A and B are shown apart, each in its own frame.
Chain A
Amino acid sequence: MILTEFKPVEEILEKLGAEKKIFILGCGGCPEGAETGGKKVLNEMKDTLEQKGLEITGLIEIDFLCQKSLIRSRIKPRKEEINAADSILVFSCGLGVQASAEVMDKVCHPALNTITFGGITGMWQGKERCDTCGNCILDLTGGICPYTACPKTLENGACAGQSNDKCETDPERDCGWVLIYNNLKRIGKLELLDKFIPPRDYRKELPTAKLRNSKLWAYDEEVAE
């Protein structure tokens, strides 16, 4: 099971900024087990955000958000609610946010941080990769992870090493920042690239002992009690 945790509500509100109309997209897979998803949790989150003055245009739970064709078919009847929203708030691991961002025409904000994959890389493995860094900034990078898509893990834009939009490390590999540019251009949000992203906090890659000793972390006999 992929383990995720909530970003603080204040951080989510800061990310949303002036966007007040939000569509909630939840993954019915792993987050339900990690208690960061599931109908009850999503409805609670909806209430919390409404109390903070946001308008929730709609809410949908899909199992699983790592499956792009499933997302495409399930959101079809919800087009109106999605069109009415300024952006999408996604409750899933980094893979689900990346897959959603490819399908959606709006910015997909991660509501969760991904802590560990527990041995799997999504139920429906796609090309998306998540670094389980606990600092998710996928909303600022068009749903393409600069930590896994760029070998230099650059956060504030491309280096000058690409040639024909391929990476300097491998002529067969797409430049992650060109992918970021193209997707942000597609959804009309290139201005997001002007935002300065401070260095990431590597402490978040070190889960607490409490978490490591919980059933969420491992099903080892000694911690399963």
Chain B
Amino acid sequence: MGLRRGGSRVNNTQQAYLSKLQRKLDEGKFAITCEIGPPKGADQEEIKESASYLKDLADGINVTDLQSSVMRMGSLTTCTLLKQWGYEPVLQMTTRDRNRLMIQSDLLSAYVMGIRNVLALTGDYTNIGDHPQTKPVYDLDSVQLLWTIKTLEEGKDLVGNDLTCSPQFFKGAVVNPGADSEAAYELQIIKMKKKIIMGAQFFQTQAIFDAETFKRFMERMEKEKINVPILAGIILLKSKGMANYMNKFVPGVFVPNNLIERMDKTDDKVATCIEIASELINEVKPYCSGIHIQALGWEKHIPSIVANIR
């Protein structure tokens, strides 16, 4: 046990587990993270299966936190299981369902369970989920969540009480390079800078389908002298219907017509999906530090995509 600022201790045994994702990005190597959603039920088999496809190829497995405000098993528990099974989990944490007491408590719990990566999010609004009647919390926003993590790392809680032992995380946040108006785009950049000041060490982007949009965003990053690692978000396009749905309902996501047509005309949806994702990854690869793949249940096809990365 060593002493830290604020008088709290760092448990050296626990400190031995550093973030593998951080190490990879620090070394400047191309990182691949994937995302899995916990099941709607008290069953771990589905998680085990999804994760098994990602063994030895994912540098981190993001676990969603009641994604789209749909009730399911928790992110913290799923990350704990993944850690026990030998994976590198990334704990997604939204501020939608927890107040500042529970957020701090869950962060301490996560550290004790060996979780070293946290992705700070606000979370989709409750009315789009399967419990639209619920009371949204939003006691903190995502910038304040990063500030909370930073405060805990400094050995204090949010009101200045000393912690007996402080956690240490590799902290991530999200940004949308496809914001569709001047105001929305500038608001993304302004908030991104605030997130970096509050300790964000890496970013995942909203899903991109247009490499040009991503390139323009990365040019802006260069202009703003923002050099934190950025992982380009890749969603597997499973069908024409899914593309149309996303264009209509998922904010900040734009699937170009040529991709929709390819999905429409193909006889082999899986092969075309893999082809599109692989092309996109190879196009954005020179501009980013890594990719973040959202397979939405098609985790078993991720190895074929990764094999195509040049």
Contact = CB atoms under 8 A, between A and B. Distances in A.
Interface of A: 151-165, 168-169, 175, 177-178, 181-182, 185, 190, 193-194, 196, 198-199, 202
A151 B174 contact: no
Nearest to B250: A163
A161 B251 contact: yes
A158 B191 contact: yes
Interface in B251-291: 251-252
B21 to A, nearest CB: 22
A95 to B, nearest CB: 23
B105 to A, nearest CB: 16
A157 B142 CA distance: 9
A139 B138 CA distance: 22
Contacts, number: 96
A163 B180 contact: yes
Contacts of A155: 141, 143-144
Contacts of A152: 96, 122, 125, 136, 138, 141
Given A160-B174, A198-B147, A175 B141 contact: no
Nearest to A166: B251
B197 A196 contact: yes
Contacts of B136: 151-152
Interface residues of B, number: 37
B180 A164 contact: yes
B125 A181 contact: no
A152 B139 CA distance: 9
A152 B252 CA distance: 18
A199 B251 contact: no
A194 B183 contact: no
A181 B187 contact: yes
A165 B142 CA distance: 20
B193 A196 contact: no
Contacts of B191: 156-158
Contact of A194 (B127, B139, B190): B190
B194 A157 contact: yes
Contact of A163 (B124, B127, B140, B252): B252
A178 B183 contact: yes
13 contacts: A152-B136, A154-B138, A156-B142, A157-B143, A158-B188, A159-B122, A163-B252, A168-B124, A168-B125, A190-B186, A196-B194, A198-B144, A199-B144
Given A194-B194, A196-B143, A160 B125 contact: no
A198 B124 CA distance: 21
B206 interface: yes
Contact of B252 (A151, A160, A193, A198): A160
Between A159, A177, A190, the greatest number of chain B beta carbons within 10 A of the residue's beta carbon is seen for: A159
B138 A153 contact: yes
B175 interface: yes
A181 B188 contact: no
Contacts of A162: 179, 181, 184, 251
B184 A158 contact: yes
Contact of A196 (B142, B147, B183): B147
A137 to B, nearest CB: 13
A178 B179 CA distance: 12
Contacts of B187: 157-158, 177-178, 181, 193
